[in-house]
Amino acid sequence: MAPGSNVLSRHKRVTGGWHAPSIEIPAAFALRLTVIRKLKAVETLGSIPLLMPAWIRDALEANDRAKIYLTTLQLAWRQATGQAQPAAGWEVRPGLLPPELATTLVEVQTHASLEREALCAPGLPRLLEALADALTVMARPVLYGQPQSSQVSREHDSLRRRVEEWQSRLRDWVRAERITPAELTDLTRGDRSEGDSVHLLVMDLHHQINALAQSLATEVIDGAHVWQIRDDDRRLVRAFMRGIQSTERLRFGHPGLETVATRSGKTLLIQRNREGAAVGGDAKSQR
């Protein structure tokens, strides 16, 4: 049975009648159902403002994971078509990916192959599920964490439709256990004139997340909007901003340079929104 498909258990005979059949829901999609239920409960209790800092930190990390997943798919395609050698492994900061998922990324890239012109690899369904999960976590503070004016509501309706559409397509690809070249292009394209993509959706959500992060900022350090950092983090933020300012002349006025910084456990997260950038533009410090 294909990974990601529902498994209907057999009926069990018990005293007093039949139990209703149980349905095993794949973990990735069960997570999204749980998130939706919890969001409704939290909204009822009026606790969303208290949760926003944690939601935004989670969303910033999900943005990093989404970029890694998309890059893995592109590298897997190059491997499958003979354009690149297998990678030795990923170097990502500890804690960003669960160990089993980090292993999956390497398997997808190193064992990718073409079957009937479609990309196949061990762990590909798991990778696509993880990408859908990252979209859920990124969308949470954007869609549920701020007051809804009429204009914001229209923008959010558009984002919500895009998130739901891409998650639906990702579920289809999980069941198929393969993706075609056209579907891979749909995931990773960066030109809006050619249509939407997961990559463009991740960029748009990241832009919104950074804007929300700025609204939470308790101070500005050399242009970076920061909150909940340690005293010794400030020198790292300043060093990062010096690097940004030193390359200012190379950007030729490129928009979208909002920088935010916060701490997540032992990690200092520093991210900036670069409209049009595929990957990168972020920094982390482990302490």
User: What is the residue type of 39?
Assistant: L
Q: Supply the pLDDT for residue 269.
A: 86
Place of tokens 């910084």: 261
Condensed to tens digits (0 to 9), the pLDDT of residues 167-184 reads 999 999 999 999 999 999
Average pLDDT, the chain: 76
pLDDT tops 60 at residue 236: yes
- For the chain, give every domain's residue range: 27-216, 217-287
Tell me the pTM. 0.70
Cα–Cα distance, 169 to 4 (Å, whole number) = 13
Digit-coded pLDDT (tens) for 141-154: 999 877 666 566 78
Residue 179 has what DSSP assignment? Answer: B
For residue 13, the SS3 value is strand
Report percent pLDDT > 70 for the chain: 68
Using an 8 Å Cβ cutoff, are 257 and 273 in contact?
yes
Give the number of C-alpha atoms closer than 13 A to the C-alpha of residue 112, restricted to the C-beta side.
31
Mean pLDDT of 17-35: 43
pLDDT confidence of residue 50: 65
Is beta strand 259-264 parallel, antiparallel or unpaired with respect to 224-227? parallel
CA atoms within 13 Å, Cβ hemisphere of 121: 30
SS (H, E, C) 111-175: CCEEECCEEECCCHHHHHHHHHHHHHHHHHHHHHCCCCCHHHHHHHHHHHHHHHHHHHHHHHHHH
| Residue 87 pLDDT greater than 70, yes or no | no
